[in-house]
Amino acid sequence: MIDKNSAPTCLMPIHEKYRAKLTSFFGYTLPLWYTTIKEEHHAVRTQAGIFDISHMGMLHISGEGAFRFLEHMSCNTLSKVKKGLFVYTMLLNHEGGVRDDIMVGPMETDYLLIVNASNASKIQTWLAEHKPPSVRITPYNDTHGFIAIQGPKAAQIVSHILDQNLSDMPPFGLRPIVYNDATLWISRTGYTGEDGFELMLPHGLATAVFEAAIGVGATPCGLGARDSLRIEAGLPLYGQELSETLSPLVTRYADWVIQRKHPFLGKHALDADADLMTTVGIEMQGNAIPRTGYPILEGGHITSGTLSPTLGKPIGMALVPKSMSAPGTTLHVTIRNTPEKALVVPLPFVRRTPSHPVTAR
């Protein structure tokens, strides 16, 4: 269903041309699917898919003291940013909950932040409330589109349409490229578990680049496949695996996304945290599909679930007591008032081909 107040992205002509099933998503009108979720999912796992991700918040942070400011706001150290790489991190509130999980990358002497669509306005305000006067925050969404090309053939497709060899670009790399007399920024991360590239580019180029990628083999994909792919990859979605009331200590990333050697906002609350829950993968032992919010008899609840197109079985992620988190542990998910058996399994559910670069959110 489309909210009359949701805004189209600059790629709406593409979505209409390919007869996408549209939906409202955090203030934007986006494709839910073009053909079917299953077909688009398999295209990304075996070839390549292309997504409109222009709903993601794109923020330019500049000015004297910008790096020190971002380091203070981030629970992860940003030292890799100085080496030309994106860093995955989280911004915390004063109670140690997750305000958002974001990517921070270098743009010459300035910085690019990619934030979740659901939190774009909130995070821009949060940063503005804490920044020194010398730091400037400029949103890119009014001038730039954002495209993700994901899958085993992503490097081949992106290199072809941009006429540059990007196969040697490192995971989490971020670099500017001149294309059709305009500068676009390209990164190599992903939200599908496959090799992937993201292109932040002026509105006027977005439709042409999206169309060019389709022309050389990329399948247009919607939010449905994006969600099933990220669940198979064991990746979090804000509002489900992450929230203002959940500590990053309950995530799969606590050991490396929280770097306690530097001071950051919310650190004191984490030091006092005694959370006994953690995030795990589960595989249902029957045909019932676990859905967000379903309770678990042993404690906790389902955060995300789907019928895995790759595995052909119901899977999910869950927040459970640490005492029940070991692989092989039996849990019981309440589905339609019936306890359904599930086993805790390692994440991710589906691993990429070993030759693919390691990517994350």
pLDDT, one tens digit per residue, over 319-341 is: 999 999 999 999 999 999 999 99
How many of the other CB atoms lie within 10 Å of CB of 149?
Answer: 27
Q: Which domains does the chain have, with CATH numbers?
A: 7-54+141-232 (3.30.1360.120), 58-139 (3.30.70.1400), 276-345 (2.40.30.110)
Q: What per-residue confidence (pLDDT) applies to 273?
A: 59
Looking at residue 211, its amino acid is E
Q: Which two tokens stand for residue 361?
A: 């959110």
Long-range CB contacts (within 8 A, 24+) of 262-267: 262/71, 262/77, 263/72, 264/71, 264/72, 264/73, 264/74, 264/75, 264/92, 265/72, 265/73, 265/91, 265/92, 265/94, 265/130, 266/75, 266/92, 266/93, 266/94, 266/95, 266/96, 266/97, 267/75, 267/92
Cα(234)–Cα(49) distance, integer angstroms: 19
Kindly give, in sequence order, each residue whose CB lies less than 8 Å from that of residue 328, ignoring residues fewer than 6 positions away. 343, 344
pLDDT tens by residue, the chain, 361 residues: 788 889 999 999 999 999 999 999 999 999 999 999 999 999 999 999 999 999 999 999 999 999 999 999 999 999 999 899 999 999 999 999 999 999 999 998 899 999 999 999 999 999 999 999 999 999 999 999 999 999 999 999 999 999 999 999 999 999 999 999 999 999 999 899 999 999 999 999 999 999 999 999 999 999 999 999 999 999 999 999 999 999 999 999 998 999 999 999 999 999 765 668 999 999 999 999 999 999 999 999 999 999 999 999 999 999 999 999 999 999 999 999 999 999 999 999 999 854 443 333 3
pLDDT, one tens digit per residue, over 241-256 is: 999 999 999 999 998 9
